[in-house]
Structure 1
Amino acid sequence: MMTHDVTKAAGRHPRRKRVGRGESSGMGRQAGRGNKGAQSRSGYSRNPIYEGGQMPMFRRLAKRGFSNVNFRREYAPVNIGWLDANCSGSVSLANLRTALHLKKDELVKVLGGGELKKKLSVEAHAFSAAAKAAIEKAGGSVKIIEQADPAESWKAKRNTAKNAGPAKKPA
């Protein structure tokens, strides 16, 4: 047997059904799209959350619990072991942001993972108790950068004179 004698297995790659190409093709006229309506037209795409007019699931389910999505604080973690391996002397927030490729509004928290043998002066937004103890034990210093509490700033903004509304008339 030669390579030119080898044939494809029958039915292995079925021909693509060409729809809308005449009645005798078996897929003419409506081309498998049913009768009229948006779904039979070209360019139509169904909204994945639309449920055909019935009350949608997200409105049927109860809204429960509390979400602090606007007020939570998320920190980028940095271990003291990483600081020991990659830093020396004074570690400023700007240096950490550059080294860790952080955005300018991201908060940094130093954690106590690893060992610290160098004397470091570290500044960050927060420190774990273990990290603070390890840095001070090695003879270094810790500087906590104060950040505004988002909930407090929101309350202050909400209670301004602009948002107070019209003054009530005395009765």
Structure 2
Amino acid sequence: MFLNTIQSAEGATHSSRRVGRGIGSGLGKTGGRGHKGQKSRSGGFHKVGFEGGQMPLQRRLPKRGFKSLTYALNAEVCLSELALVAVDEIDVLALKQAGLIAANAQNVKVIASGKISKAVTLKGIKVTKGAKVAIEAAGGKVEE
């Protein structure tokens, strides 16, 4: 099989409709465009959502919500995931190398989800109150 020999399955393609070719075709005279009006004319079109001059729906409805541009730069790490890091002194680079956070992450926060038994030292990483208590209880410390 070669790319130039590939064909569509039988019945998958249909010949295009030939409009304006006489009464017998069923699509003669107006050619399926109806009578008069902008849509019946050649070149007669308007942009998507145009309502004939009436205020369009997307402008009648209120603007809502917000999409943060820094959303992708923030990352969360669970307490239980800290045990997966091989080194005891954990920073953002160590978490990236362990594959726990995305490569483009800049702001990292440890949340109190799961348990930690290994003593680790966190550097340059934000920590929730509950996570800080758990880390210090396991013999680790948090340096910000």
Q: Displacement of 1:73 after TM fit?
A: 10
Query: Share of identical aligned residues, percent?
Result: 29
Equivalent residues in 2 for 1:2-151, closer than 5 Å:
18-20=17-19, 22-23=21-22, 24-34=24-34, 35=36, 37=38, 41=42, 46-47=47-48, 49-61=49-61, 69=68, 75-98=74-97, 99-104=99-104, 106-144=106-144
Distance 2:85 2:40 in 1: 60
Distance 1:101 1:70 in 2: 18
Q: Which one has the bigger helix percentage?
A: 1
Structure 2: tracts of 5 or more residues without a match: 1-13
Distance 1:52 1:69 in 2: 35
Distance 1:70 1:128 in 2: 23
- Residue 18 of structure 1: SS of its match in structure 2? coil
Deviations 1:28-85 (A, max 9, x none): 344323346357558x6742x3333212334434568x96957989731110101113
Distance 1:89 1:95 in 2: 10
- TM-score under structure 2 length normalisation: 0.64
Structure 1: tracts of 5 or more residues without a match: 1-14, 145-171
Aligned to 2:8: none
- TM-score under structure 1 length normalisation: 0.55
What value does the CA root-mean-square deviation take over the aligned residues? 3.8
CA contact (8 A) 1:91 1:120 kept: yes
One-letter amino acid matched to 1:25: S
One-letter amino acid matched to 1:140: G
